[in-house]
Structure formats: structure tokens, C-alpha cells
Structure 1
Amino acid sequence: MTNSRNKALLLALSAAAAATALTAATLPAQAAPAPRAEAPALGWHPCAKPGGPATQECADLPVPLDYDDPAGPQVSPLPLDRVYLLNPGQSLSVGDRTLRAFRPPLFDNPATVGFFDDRTGTCYSSDCFGAPLPTADLATCPDVAEVDAEDLKAAQLLWASVDSPWAQNVDPARFLATADPLRSAGPGTVLSTHLPPATGLTPRLLDTLTAVPGLTPYTGPDQAALEQMLATFAPGPH
């Protein structure tokens, strides 16, 4: 497990260093800023919603798809009536299915909300089960079952120590109780950002959570380590 953790960490650090070196080697001279487009006048109109202020007004402001081409194609922001705020424990009918909101056990933002899709039995867990995988082929594979089970667990614990450092200081019993909604729902497929789809692996994912409380805190590279890595990359051709 330690070796897998080190490999995953080295991969992440090497990728970051490569991107930094490549950017430094290929960054072109800064171009003069594009002329600033004049903002159009806003056309305000009544848009009161049931239960909302009767005097509410709205205005749409199209913005450029490409800010380097302000006179090019435009797009309007998402209308407010297409936005629906949902808190854990609430649900929303979206036609042929109902989405039930829950708080994932691990998160990097207190506003994070996951969803259960009652039609497909799929759980959208935000980044709860993310894992830095050692190759691009594994990171983009159709099912995370292709990853060795121990390597996957080590990578997920590394992700948890980086993305949810608060979990290192929680009461284990109270933390594990936060997985009850997932355990009760028993989704057939778990979708998580930073992880390929996980089908039929929910019990294993939940077992990994038991090792999260008390994890050794993640310590990132310092300046000396960064400079040492950058020195191994030769600058690209200009």
C-alpha cells in the first residue's frame, strides 16, 4: 500500500512539475489586450416567482463564448428558473426519475451535495471516492474494477488525506455513520469525480472509508523539492 501511495504521489508531483516546466518553456510573449467591448444596455422585466418578491425584476446579459473575441458568438447565462437549490434529505422530480440529495461522507466544500437516481440506481457522489491513478489508461477506463484493489484503496486514502484533511480529526463512529445513506441506498453504480465508474463495488468503497479517520496528514512538497523536480526537465524548443 505504501509503495502504491508513493507511486501515486510521485505521478501527481511529476505531472505538476511537467506542466509548470512546459508552460515556462513555451509561454509566448504577452499580446496586447483586445479592445474592450462596450456593454449593452440591460432590459429589465418583471420575473416574480411564486412566494418571491412581487417586485422582482430580471435582465439577461449575453456574454461572449470567447473573451478574446468579444464581437464573436454570444451566449446567455442559465435562466434562474432552471436553477434549483437542493439540500441533503430533499428530493427533486425531474420527469422520469427522482433525485434524492445526500451529504457524501467525504467532501472538500461544506456545500457539497450528492444525489441518488432512483431510476438507474446510480449514486453521484461528487468527489467522495476520488483516487489519483498511475496511468492515463486506468484514469479513463470504463470501470474502476480494472484497477488492482489494494492500489485503488491506497490511492483513495491518499486522495482523502489531501482533499478532506478535516476527516483526520473526526470521531470514527460519528464519521462512519455519515455513510449510512449510501449503505441504505445500496447503489449499483457509484460515479465520483476523479474516479472511473464503480459498478458493483459499493461495499468495497464503504470499507475504504473505515480507514480514513486518523490518516497521517498529507504533507506536500516544499520549494526545495519542487526545484529538484524542475531541474530534471529539460526546457522544450522555442
Structure 2
Amino acid sequence: MPSNLRKSYLATSDIHTLPSHLPLGALGLLPVNAYLISARQPILVDTGLAIDRGNFENALWSLVDPRDLRWIVITHDDRDHCGNLKEVLMAAPNATIITNGLTVARLGEEWDVPAHRVRTVNPGRTVELGGRTVSFMRPPSYDSPATLAMYDHTGDALFAADSFGTVLPEMVENAGDADRSDYLEGMSTFTRANAPWTALADQVKWDSTLAEFSKLNPGSVLSSHAPTATSRAGELVETVRAVPAMDPWLPDEDLEVEAVLDRYEASHSDTEPQGAK
């Protein structure tokens, strides 16, 4: 099976990125990241794409012994975030999943998640994971009602799930290595495409939500769909603040609906019984 997984790298001094990507045609490449926090009790955030199966596990276990992995945070149930969850859970006997209850229910459409290996949390919860303090919150934009972002107080890093994601012409490890215009315009495009409801968002409420993240001002923003953003949280907030005022984004179509209807009507008029009304 082909794999888009690339070599892991350090996003911060103790947070590894396991990067992959999805090609989106003319739009460019969508980064797809999972993260490993190398703590006293290691924490994995998301489990990558199913297309990377085998390669993802090999990359992960090169960074941590399966028996040492203690926590698997799943930001939400989309396949690009939990594509290898079952395999990782089977290989890591001491690991416990932390996620929202909706995610567990939705994962149950595909496989029976072992209840004794899951702890559910909601936005607003702060917990200690082996001496590491983390807080869960709902990120500004999302495409699943189950979505959780996680702020790591120790590392001053925000795992933002789909928020602040972008599409790029080529993959880079740090946002500073991308063309600034490509990076920020790609973020506006991805936010509108991934969360089309933002076109209906009340600007005052949207600004209020973003103000919470401005106040947090994390040193590192680690989106599931973007390179590492260091010391630029304010710029990211300002970029997505403009989204509700933008036109909704839709992909190109390759089906000309009007032409199809015309051909349909023409073909049926030729066979319509004479005198029919």
C-alpha cells in the first residue's frame, strides 16, 4: 500500500511530529500530523492516516516502546486522526484512550472500542497525565462535533486539531519555512472548506471565541493540518478572524448539471407517447 508518511521531526524539544499529507489537486498538499509527547508517561495525539498503516506504527515505535505508551489522545473520530488507533491500541498494552464521548460512539460504527481502555473528557477539563498538566477545549473551527483541542501547560503547546490548518504547495516542517502568503491564504481556504458553517457564524461570537485563544497565546501551535507555528499565535488568530466575511468555498465540479438535465429531457421527449400530457 502506498504511504505518504515522512520522517518524524521535533516540533519542540520534547514533542515529535509524525507527518504525512493528502494531495488536494490544484489546492496543493494538506499536512496530516500526529504528535508524540516524550514525557514520563508518553502521550500520543492522534494516530494518522490508514493509508500509512504499518509505516505509521514503525515510525511511532522507533520513538517510544509500545509498553511505555500510556495515553492516546484522539482529537476526533475522522479517519485522518484515528486511522491507526486500533493497531496502536493492540500493540500498546498499557495505553488508555482519552477523547470525547461522541468520538467513542462514532468509532463504534466501525469497531468495538474496549470501554475499559477509554477515559472520556469534555471541553473545559484539566487533567494530570503522569505529571503533565493538559487542558481540553473546543477549538475555533472544526468539522466534527466531537472535536477537542488540547493545551499542554508544560510545553506551552496547543494541539489545535483541525484549527489553523492550511494547504501548501510543498511540505515544510516549520511555518517559517513556508511562503507567508501561501501559508496564510491556504489557512483561510482550508478553514472555509473544512468548516463551511463559518460562513454563517456571527462575527461577534466568532471574535469572542478567538479572543480566548489570543489570551492563551501558546508558544507553539501544533495543528493536525499545518507545520509547526512558533510564536505566531496572534497572526493565526487574525488570519481566521476574517473567514466569516469571506465567500463560502466549494471545490470545482466536473459535472455540468444543466447539460445533463437537457440531455435527459431530450431523450425522454423522443420516447414520450404521442398525445401524452
Same fold, TM-score > 0.5, yes or no: yes
Q: Say whether 1:100 aligns with 2:135.
A: yes
Q: 1:112 aligns with which of 140, 143, 147?
A: 147
Q: Secondary structure at the match of 1:126?
A: coil
Task: Tell me which amino acid in the other structure corresponds to 1:206.
Answer: V
Query: Match for residue 220 of structure 2?
Result: 189
Report the Cα distance in structure 1 between the residues aligned to 2:116 and 2:154, rounded to whole angstroms: 24
Query: Match for residue 118 of structure 2?
Result: 83
Report the Cα distance in structure 2 between the residues aligned to 1:152 and 1:187, rounded to whole angstroms: 19
In the TM superposition, what is the alpha-carbon distance from 1:12 to its structure 2 partner? 4.2
Give TM-score scaled by structure 1 length: 0.60
Cα deviation 1:48-80 (Å, max 9, x = unaligned) = xxxxxxxxxxxxxxxx96xxxxxxxx8688753
Q: 1:144 aligns with which of 142, 158, 175?
A: 175
Unmatched segments (≥5 aa) in structure 1? 1-7, 14-63, 66-73, 226-238
Task: Tell me which amino acid in the other structure corresponds to 2:193.
Answer: V
In the TM superposition, what is the alpha-carbon distance from 1:220 to its structure 2 partner? 1.4
Note the aligned Cα RMSD (angstroms): 2.5
In the TM superposition, what is the alpha-carbon distance from 1:224 to its structure 2 partner? 4.5
Report the Cα distance in structure 1 between the residues aligned to 2:154 and 2:191, rounded to whole angstroms: 29
In the TM superposition, what is the alpha-carbon distance from 1:81 to its structure 2 partner? 3.6
Report the Cα distance in structure 2 between the residues aligned to 1:81 and 1:93, rounded to whole angstroms: 19
Conserved? CA contact 1:176–1:209, under 8 Å: no
Query: Match for residue 52 of structure 1?
Result: none
- Give the structure with the higher percent strand: 2
Task: Tell me which amino acid in the other structure corresponds to 2:213.
Answer: L
Q: 2:254 aligns with which of 216, 223, 226?
A: 223
Give TM-score scaled by structure 2 length: 0.52
Task: Tell me which amino acid in the other structure corresponds to 1:126.
Answer: A
Query: Match for residue 162 of structure 2?
Result: 127
Q: 1:214 aligns with which of 245, 253, 260?
A: 245
Query: Match for residue 178 of structure 1?
Result: 209
In the TM superposition, what is the alpha-carbon distance from 1:9 to its structure 2 partner? 6.3
Q: Secondary structure at the match of 1:223?
A: coil
Q: Secondary structure at the match of 2:243?
A: coil
In structure 2, do the counterparts of structure 1 residues 200 and 211 end up closer, same or farther at CA, with 3 Å as the change threshold? Answer: same
Q: Secondary structure at the match of 2:244?
A: coil
In the TM superposition, what is the alpha-carbon distance from 1:146 to its structure 2 partner? 1.1
Q: Say whether 1:10 aligns with 2:26.
A: yes
Q: Secondary structure at the match of 1:99?
A: strand
Conserved? CA contact 1:169–1:214, under 8 Å: no
Q: Which has the larger radius of gyration?
A: 1
In structure 2, do the counterparts of structure 1 residues 167 and 193 end up closer, same or farther at CA, with 3 Å as the change threshold? Answer: same
In structure 2, do the counterparts of structure 1 residues 184 and 168 end up closer, same or farther at CA, with 3 Å as the change threshold? Answer: same
Larger relative contact order (C-alpha < 8 A, sep ≥ 6)? 1
In the TM superposition, what is the alpha-carbon distance from 1:142 to its structure 2 partner? 2.2
How many percent identity over aligned positions?
A: 29
Query: Match for residue 19 of structure 1?
Result: none
Report the Cα distance in structure 2 between the residues aligned to 1:118 and 1:160, rounded to whole angstroms: 26
Report the Cα distance in structure 2 between the residues aligned to 1:167 and 1:157, rounded to whole angstroms: 11
Unmatched segments (≥5 aa) in structure 2? 1-23, 30-85, 94-111, 257-277
Report the Cα distance in structure 1 between the residues aligned to 2:149 and 2:136, rounded to whole angstroms: 6
In the TM superposition, what is the alpha-carbon distance from 1:182 to its structure 2 partner? 1.6
Which contiguous aligned blocks of 4+ residues in structure 1 show a shift greater than 2 angstroms? 74-82
Residue range with higher mean Cα deviation, 179-188 or 191-200: 179-188
